[in-house]
A and B are shown apart, each in its own frame.
Chain A
Amino acid sequence: MAAGVATWLPFARAAAVGWLPLAKKSMPKPPVDKKSRNDEILFVNVSGLRFQTWKNTLDRYPDTLLGSSEKEFFFNEDTQEYFFDRDPEMFRHILNFYRTGKLHYPRQECIQAFDEELAFYGIVPDIIGDCCMEEYRDRKKENQERLAEDTEAEMATDAPLPPHSTRRERLWRAFENPHTSTMALVFYYVTGFFIAVSVIANVVETVPCRPLKGSKKELPCGEKYSLAFFCMDTACVLIFTFEYLMRLFAAPSRCKFMRSVMSVIDVVAIMPYYIGLVMPENEDVSGAFVTLRVFRVFRIFKFSRHSQGLRILGYTLKSCASELGFLLFSLTMAIIIFATVMFYAEKGTKGTNFSSIPASFWYTIVTMTTLGYGDMVPTTIAGKIFGSICSLSGVLVIALPVPVIVSNFSRIYHQNQRADKMRAQQKVRLARIRLAKKGTTNAFLQYKEDGGFQDRDSNGTLCLKNRSSFEHQHHHLLHCLEKTTNHDFTDELTYSEMCMTESVGYRTSRSTSISSQQGMTTSCCPRRSKRRAIRLANSTVSVSRGSVQELDTLHVQKHSPEPQSRSSLNARTEDLKLNCDDRDFTAAIISIPTPPANTPDESLPPSPAIPGILRNSRATAYTHETVKISSL
């Protein structure tokens, strides 16, 4: 109920006296109001800005923070006021809501900041007044769209391969995002080159070349060097066919792929060649065949895979379908009208070009688009008058839908630009996050190496580096986690080295010593013997940097059995997939998110905060959380 209604409630209750004589039954007892009804002024201090208001004002909305007893948590006994460490400018609007019952959205504020304030004070945004609701909704939608776009773009293109992708999935990904692997890039450029070659060949073969020796007639180059052109065409078609078949094989949904525009273009581009091969050199059929050759020009559309601008144009046209339809319809109407008029106006003239209404269509179109070829001109006065009206109206009819199409194109183009910018910024941001995360982990590992934990009892710990109390607590937390899971943190180098060691087969002597240790980190990485293992294996280890290869290695690791002397947790490492989630380990109450285990182009193996066990492939979610931890 709205605020003011609360004011009128006593009045409505009083008015209930009017029902008493009519009442069939006796009235129920009224609720006893225990708390004092005395109105008092409350002081609310928001980041230094002091507000004062009646208690009743705040009580109007009992389901918000300020209206309920929740505000008592913020009561400062010393200053006898409620202190909130929030934005004072925003608080003004919040308080005005209590006073007037209407929530206004300040236009100069960021929509997310406003939302957060509302969430803090327990106010549902739905009660924003009508005056500001439209603006609020629009900005919110815009913001959400932008975020969705960004995450989608990020996930779609740069999302790493799940480690168990089949060849087929990898192939598909290579086709869709050529910049992910060099092979794909090479293939991309090769096909691009061949498309260009094919199109140029198509064009050049119609250019007249110098005639053959002994004949006067000029031949088009295509007939003079027919063999050469045929070979070139064959090569191109072979490449295109191969590419199409590979895409068809790799497509996750073949039916959907076959129905997609690009695949249709591909088919249309290569079909004429095969039909030409199959068809005999028949005179009557070859006419149709020649027509088919026209379709070879569709190969130029294959460039749209290579050019983003073309794609944008395609999207624009698709999104403006209704405007284009309107344009077409209105043009058709105008053409028919004016053609009819011109025909009848010029009907009397002898030898006129306007022989029929359809013949006048050509004149109308040429005039309305202000082309004016001049092959058909009206000669009568009436014809000239109507002709001029026709050309004037043409300007109007065509100029109307064009701005809409143009603005659509501009919008889509800017969206794309923004997506690219976002991607670039994202890379920088991720790199920064990773750096910060590595910093904290390294600090912890350093602390451990310096024997921080073990030497707790002795009094030699004071020589440790200066750490803030935050660091102390954080390290203690990480230590608790280690104890909980009975696994330890290592750094990436150690881990990868261990994995390489394992895969190379250094297991025999190492593994016994390794496995006899308590608390193995993963299926391959020991804790205490890591230094020993490093020294032994460091020379041979070259951590593979390619993400695919890295995943292969880890993949191998999963299968290497590590049976001896394990705690119950470790016994499950065989079942460990690299993407297992936290649920298996109830002990790990604290789940420190790993750095995005699958960072886009960075192929560093993830710094193993919790290698293998709590690694999650939910990259984007954890990016967010990782940021929070490092800024604690």
Chain B
Amino acid sequence: MGAVVGTLAMQSRQRRPSREFETHQTRQHFSSLQRSNFDKLDDDFEPSVVCHRPEALEQLEAQTNFNKKELQVLYRGFKNECPSGVVSEETFKQIYSQFFPHGDSSTYAHYLFNSFDSTHNGSIKFEDFVTALSILLRGSTIEKLQWTFNLYDINGDGYINKEEMTDIVKAIYDMMGRFTYPALKTDTTKQHVDAFFQKMDKNRDGVVTLDEFILSCQEDANIMRSLQLFENVI
């Protein structure tokens, strides 16, 4: 009896040995589809459905300091990475973490993402991307410093206070990771922030405004020199 059942089962099994794989895979695929359908109806569909197209090449050329060829190269790279035309914060953090494998770059990437995302809708479009790059690489010193100020000013109120600065500095030190020389001490961040405020906060009111920031930076020759370094990145 058992033998009969066994051989019957065996036969049915043998009939699809090669297709076993495919059926298995299709089953997996199907189940994942179902899952995505039922669980993440709204979340998953949106990015894949939304496909953003940038403005025309001429417009971008007018708005930024790049020429046509450079924009083409930039866009091709961008589109390759993000076929849908937008970069989500998750993707952004992932990409950034690949550049800094030693430490945790997610916090800094978060701040960076926010500074790029001009419309604050959680995704960077190509225009944002290219505008920011245009400032950073081809902009004037004032524009660069303005951009940096916006980066530091997390809540966008026009003032950098100590907490914001501490967050930024901590995020930067996080990217270094644990194994540094000399070893990171507990008050390294605080010291760094204090030094920054010492330099930047002219009227000692505990916050740094845009003008104070720009003024202080212009006084520092080191910073001025460094700002020119990144011109030829593209």
Contacts and interface: CB of A to CB of B under 8 A. Distances in A.
A26 B144 CA distance: 17
Given A8-B99, A99-B80, A395-B1, 8 more contacts: A11-B129, A14-B233, A17-B144, A18-B115, A26-B225, A30-B229, A402-B9, A406-B7
Interface in A97-150: 99-100, 135, 138
Interface string B183-201: 0000000001001100010
16 contacts: A8-B81, A12-B99, A13-B233, A14-B132, A14-B230, A19-B172, A21-B152, A21-B223, A29-B229, A56-B77, A370-B1, A399-B2, A402-B2, A402-B5, A403-B10, A406-B7
Contact of B3 (A2, A20, A27, A402): A402
Interface string B51-65: 000000000000000
- Using C-beta atoms within 8 Å of the partner chain, give the interface range for chain A: 35 or more
Q: Which 8 A-B pairs have the closest CB atoms?
A: A7-B77, A402-B6, A14-B136, A399-B5, A4-B81, A403-B9, A398-B2, A27-B226
B96 interface: yes
Contacts of B1: 369-370, 395, 398
Given A15-B112, A29-B229, A135-B21, A406 B99 contact: no
A49 to B, nearest CB: 23
B13 A403 contact: yes
Nearest to B77: A7
A19 B192 CA distance: 12
Nearest to A395: B1
Given A30-B229, A369-B1, A406-B7, A4 B234 contact: no
Contacts of B76: 54, 56
Interface of A: 1-5, 7-24, 26-27, 29-30, 33, 37-39, 54, 56, 99-100, 135, 138, 369-370, 395, 398-399, 402-403, 405-407, 410
B169 interface: yes
A402 B69 CA distance: 69
Given A5-B95, A39-B73, A398-B1, A20 B148 contact: yes
Interface string B159-190: 00000000011001000000000000000000
A23 B21 CA distance: 56
- Using C-beta atoms within 8 Å of the partner chain, give the interface range for chain B: 35 or more
A137 to B, nearest CB: 12
B148 A17 contact: yes
A136 to B, nearest CB: 12
Majority secondary structure of chain B interface residues (helix, strand, loop or mixed): helix
A181 to B, nearest CB: 40
B217 interface: yes
Contacts of A17: 136, 144, 147-148, 227, 230
Contacts of B148: 17-18, 20-21
B106 to A, nearest CB: 14
A135 B136 CA distance: 46
A15 B95 contact: no
Contacts of A12: 96, 99
Nearest to B223: A20
B196 A20 contact: no
B60 to A, nearest CB: 16
A37 B74 CA distance: 12
B210 interface: no
